[in-house]
């Protein structure tokens, strides 16, 4: 139990120390730049050769639901390796923005080791849940979205009144500040609606977002329900409302 919670809350909200969060961002960026998806490594060639290298790369390190449940040890590891692989610049930058915005405070609250295990564990289960629901799919699934969605779910429980700056298209992208208990359930609702309309084949794995979000919220509730949660405080608002 934390002795002086008010002092700790102020420190968490103003100057979070988050080496794991920043390390994850750096690792994902470095792997992306070194891989074929970035298109910057001449070793992968150009044109059709580059496209073939990208497909092989995603198939090797991403989750292929049709292969996951066949008992292969290599395939069983892919829900973990896929967390560090991204398919495009937009995919990478969107995910890393969300991790930067919400990860630091969640890490500070959980602790470095717990946050690391939480991130990888929830990310693994989120991708596993998506694969189970699409067991016949042969499309590769990559990205940290499931793990980052878990961070959002935990953030909602831990910091429900933290102010989040959001850009809403129907309000001409004006930056508006809302509490997390408004922004994050709204985001989760959009994922739910999108999951019901998502076509088969390549696209955004909305179901993995939902599974991750639910796991993150449940973990935070189970782990911290007997401790005081963060109340409203004059903290700098995280930036962005970009889909992971």
For residue 237, being part of any structural domain is answered with no
Catalytic status, residue 59: no
pLDDT at position 170 is: 37
The model's pLDDT over 4-41, given as tens digits with 9 standing for 90+, comes to 333 334 444 445 589 999 999 999 999 999 999 999 99
Q: For the packed helices 19-34 and 89-110, what is the interaxial angle rounded to 10 degrees? A: 160
What is the chain's mean pLDDT, rounded?
A: 81
For residue 233, being part of any structural domain is answered with no
For residue 241, being part of any structural domain is answered with no
For residue 236, being part of any structural domain is answered with no
For residue 229, being part of any structural domain is answered with no
Q: What angle do CA 159, 212, 241 make, to 5 degrees?
A: 55
Higher-scoring residue by pLDDT: 197, 150:
150
For residue 238, being part of any structural domain is answered with no
Higher-scoring residue by pLDDT: 73, 176:
73
pLDDT at position 71 is: 79
pTM of the model: 0.80
**Catalytic hit among 137, 140, 145, 166:** 145
Average pLDDT in the 54-82 region?
Answer: 93
pLDDT at position 232 is: 43
The model's pLDDT over 150-190, given as tens digits with 9 standing for 90+, comes to 999 999 999 998 877 655 443 334 455 667 777 787 778 87
Catalytic status, residue 189: no
Is it the case that residue 219 has pLDDT exceeding 90? yes
Domain that holds residue 61: 5-224
Average pLDDT in the 181-204 region?
Answer: 70
Higher-scoring residue by pLDDT: 234, 39:
39
Is it the case that residue 242 has pLDDT exceeding 60? no
Here the CATH number for the domain that contains residue 184 is: 1.20.1540.10
Domain count within the chain:
1
Residue 203's pLDDT band (boundaries 50, 70, 90)?
low
For residue 82, being part of any structural domain is answered with yes
For residue 213, being part of any structural domain is answered with yes
């Amino acid at each position: 139990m934390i002795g002086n919670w008010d002092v700790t809350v102020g420190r968490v909200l103003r100057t979070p120390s988050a080496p794991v969060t920043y390390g994850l961002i750096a690792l994902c960026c470095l792997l992306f730049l070194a891989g074929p998806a970035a298109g910057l490594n001449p070793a992968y060639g150009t044109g059709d050769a580059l496209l073939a290298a990208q497909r092989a790369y995603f198939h090797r390190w991403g989750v292929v639901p049709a292969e996951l449940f066949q008992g292969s040890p290599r395939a069983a590891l892919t829900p973990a390796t896929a967390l560090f692989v991204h398919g495009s610049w937009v995919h990478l930058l969107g995910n890393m923005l969300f991790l930067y915005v919400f990860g630091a405070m969640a890490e500070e609250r959980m602790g470095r080791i717990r946050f690391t295990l939480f991130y990888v564990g929830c990310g693994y289960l989120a991708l596993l849940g998506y694969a189970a629901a699409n067991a016949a799919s042969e499309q590769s699934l990559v990205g940290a979205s499931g793990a980052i969605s878990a961070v959002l779910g935990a953030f909602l429980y831990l910091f429900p009144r933290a102010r989040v700056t959001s850009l809403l298209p129907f309000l001409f992208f004006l930056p508006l500040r809302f509490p997390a208990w408004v922004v994050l359930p709204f985001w989760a609702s959009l994922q739910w609606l999108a999951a019901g309309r998502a076509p088969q084949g390549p696209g955004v794995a909305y179901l993995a977002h939902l599974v991750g979000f639910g796991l993150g919220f449940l973990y935070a509730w189970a782990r911290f329900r007997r401790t005081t949660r963060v109340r409203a405080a004059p903290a700098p608002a995280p930036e962005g409302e970009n889909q992971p």
